[in-house]
Amino acid sequence: MSYQKLSLPLSLGTSRKRNWLWIWCGVGVLLLAVIAFVVFHGEEDLNVVTGRALDMETFGAQEWPENIPLSRQTLESDDVSKSPDMPDSESEPVDDLFLIRGRVTRNQTLFVALKNHGLDIDDVQQVLASLEGVVDFKKSRPGDRYEVHLDVDRRILKFVYESSPEDISVSVREGNVFVGQKVVILREVVQKRLSGVVTDTLYQAFVNLGESGELASHFMQLFKYDMDFSTGTQRGDEFTMLVEKVYLNGQFYKYGRVWAATYETVSGRRLEAYYFDAPEEDYKGYYDDEGRALKRTFLKTPVVGCPLTSPYNLKRMHPILKRVRPHYGMDWACPTGTPIMSFGDGTVTFADWKGGNGNLLVIEHPNGYTSLYAHLYAFGRGIKKGVRVRQGQVVGLVGNTGISTGPHLHFGLKLHGKYIDPSSVDTRRAYTLSGSRLSAFHSSRDKIRRSLWETGGSGSALVSK
């Protein structure tokens, strides 16, 4: 009897404890769910900064290349292959059920792009086969356009592929086969002389001539070392330009080469620029009337925003070896990964590991100069022996490789094979053509001058202020 009295309360107590255990477990799970919801959904509103984005304008990436024709198509963001935010979808909306327009996207072949539209695989294969030898689809780029014309059964009638407005191919069904060929584009290049008088801004003067504002920007880039057009222009200043204009099937497509440009202020100062198409690539570019390059030979420094920690010093005490050892260069302390720019135009002659120098980059420049960049973390994309680079191009990243006390760039400069103090080079001055090159330039300049004054112009741009 006593056993039964004791057993009932014990049974009830155990049951209650189990119930409370389940209750607390449920509460715990609920709390974890709430916390997970807040954390994961809250992250969507966080702006996490994982590194410093590069301001490419600082490194000259937005400047007009001297040897590349201007393209309005490129400038006006019509070419999506330039856009880092290209959508994943390759389709372009159209109202016609029998027409598909699209673009090739990143990491996608044209075959996959067409297959994704649900097109007949046999048709797709025949279309691509018909264009073999006409189009090299292995060189397709993101942004290349295509157009597919369909019949009521969604079979391909015609396929059009456009790498650029100058390069269009078409494949058309003829019976049971497809025939591919290039589309004939009538391309015409016309030299045009533009002239104007500034009464407001130089940019506005070009616009009022019916030309692109980007052409005005290019004009200003030519003389950027000699004049600040944002503050130096005056009402009454005159300018001229000899530029190629490219037309496709009678429609303006883009600007070509700018062959000459002049700017004369009301105070009598005159600036001149002539393009010299030299036989050697290193000497192609713009020069003034006396054969002095408009572009300065070298940058002031190959890195931006880094303190100079060790100058050129033939009697420096080496920080690691603890003995006097000449320091044939300059050191800048920079965080690992800081971009390194090419000191000038040139050709890479070495890009590899070099003992105590760690990762070493050597660039040969015109007129006997050679620049060296040591202790790199990594080389720039595509940088290897034999590659040509342009002034201001990112060619490597600062590192701490080889014999080094910390992340820094060791920069050396040679002239005709002998080390010189990089700070002794006057980067404000440009190199001047000499000898046979100067004679060839004078002949080219005189020919361009005749074209400049013989070619019909667009009239003056007079703008009220």
Range 298-304 average pLDDT: 87
Question: What pLDDT, on a 0 to 100 scale, did the predictor assign at position 458?
Answer: 46
Residue 436 lies in a domain: yes
| 193 lies in the same domain as 261 | yes
Residue 154 lies in a domain: yes
Number of domains in the chain: 3
Last residue of a domain, one of 182, 213, 231: 182
Per-chain mean pLDDT for the chain: 79
Question: What pLDDT, on a 0 to 100 scale, did the predictor assign at position 23?
Answer: 67
Question: What pLDDT, on a 0 to 100 scale, did the predictor assign at position 144?
Answer: 92
Residue 284 lies in a domain: yes
Identify the residue with better confidence: 40 or 284.
284
Range 7-30 average pLDDT: 56
| 374 lies in the same domain as 396 | yes
Q: Is the model's pLDDT at 8 over the cut of 80? A: no
| 260 lies in the same domain as 331 | no
44-53, 98-107, 443-452: which has the minimum mean pLDDT?
44-53
| 76 lies in the same domain as 167 | yes
Question: What pLDDT, on a 0 to 100 scale, did the predictor assign at position 167?
Answer: 92
Residue 54 lies in a domain: no
| 332 lies in the same domain as 414 | yes
Range 414-433 average pLDDT: 87
Confidence of residue 3 (pLDDT cuts 50, 70, 90): very low
**Quick one: three-class SS letters along the chain?**
CHHHHHHHHHHHHHHHHHHHHHHHHHHHHHHHHHHHHHHHHHHHHCCCCCCCCCCHHHHCCCCCCCCCCCCHHHHCCCCHHHCCCCCCCCEECCCCCCEEEEECCCCCCHHHHHHCCCCCHHHHHHHHHHCCCCCCHHHCCCCCEEEEEECCCCCEEEEEEEEECCEEEEEEEECCEEEEEECCCCEEEEEEEEEEECCCCHHHHHHHCCCCHHHHHHHHHHCCCCCCHHHHCCCCCEEEEEEEEEEECCEEEEEEEEEEEEEECCCCCEEEEEEECCCCHHHCEEECCCCEECCCCCCCCCCCCCCEEECCECCCECCCCCCECCECCEEEECCCCCEEECCCCEEEEEEEECHHHCEEEEEECHHHEEEEEEEEEEECCCCCCCCEECCCCEEEEEECCCCCCCCEEEEEEEECCEEECHHHCCCCCCCECCHHHHHHHHHHHHHHHHHHHHCCECCCCCCCC
29-38, 45-54, 83-92, 451-460: which has the minimum mean pLDDT?
45-54
Residue 52 lies in a domain: no
The model's pLDDT over 130-141, given as tens digits with 9 standing for 90+, comes to 999 999 888 888
Residue 43 lies in a domain: no
Q: Is the model's pLDDT at 327 over the cut of 50? A: yes
| 269 lies in the same domain as 283 | yes
Question: What pLDDT, on a 0 to 100 scale, did the predictor assign at position 296?
Answer: 83
- The residue range of the domain holding 157 is 72-182
Question: What pLDDT, on a 0 to 100 scale, did the predictor assign at position 419?
Answer: 95
| 375 lies in the same domain as 269 | no
Q: Is the model's pLDDT at 168 over the cut of 80? A: yes
Question: What pLDDT, on a 0 to 100 scale, did the predictor assign at position 428?
Answer: 72
Confidence of residue 431 (pLDDT cuts 50, 70, 90): confident
Last residue of a domain, one of 182, 215, 233: 182
Q: Is the model's pLDDT at 4 over the cut of 50? A: no
Residue 105 lies in a domain: yes
Residue 462 lies in a domain: yes
The domain that holds 384 is classified in CATH as 2.70.70.10
The domain that holds 224 is classified in CATH as 3.10.450.350
Range 192-206 average pLDDT: 90
The model's pLDDT over 450-463, given as tens digits with 9 standing for 90+, comes to 888 775 544 333 33
| 331 lies in the same domain as 414 | yes
Q: Is the model's pLDDT at 151 over the cut of 50? A: yes
| 219 lies in the same domain as 126 | no
The model's pLDDT over 57-103, given as tens digits with 9 standing for 90+, comes to 322 323 344 444 443 333 332 332 333 333 344 566 655 789 999 99
Confidence of residue 189 (pLDDT cuts 50, 70, 90): very high
Question: What pLDDT, on a 0 to 100 scale, did the predictor assign at position 214?
Answer: 81
Confidence of residue 32 (pLDDT cuts 50, 70, 90): low
| 255 lies in the same domain as 177 | no
| 172 lies in the same domain as 252 | no
| 326 lies in the same domain as 344 | yes
Last residue of a domain, one of 134, 162, 182: 182
Range 250-266 average pLDDT: 94
10-14, 339-343, 437-441: which has the minimum mean pLDDT?
10-14
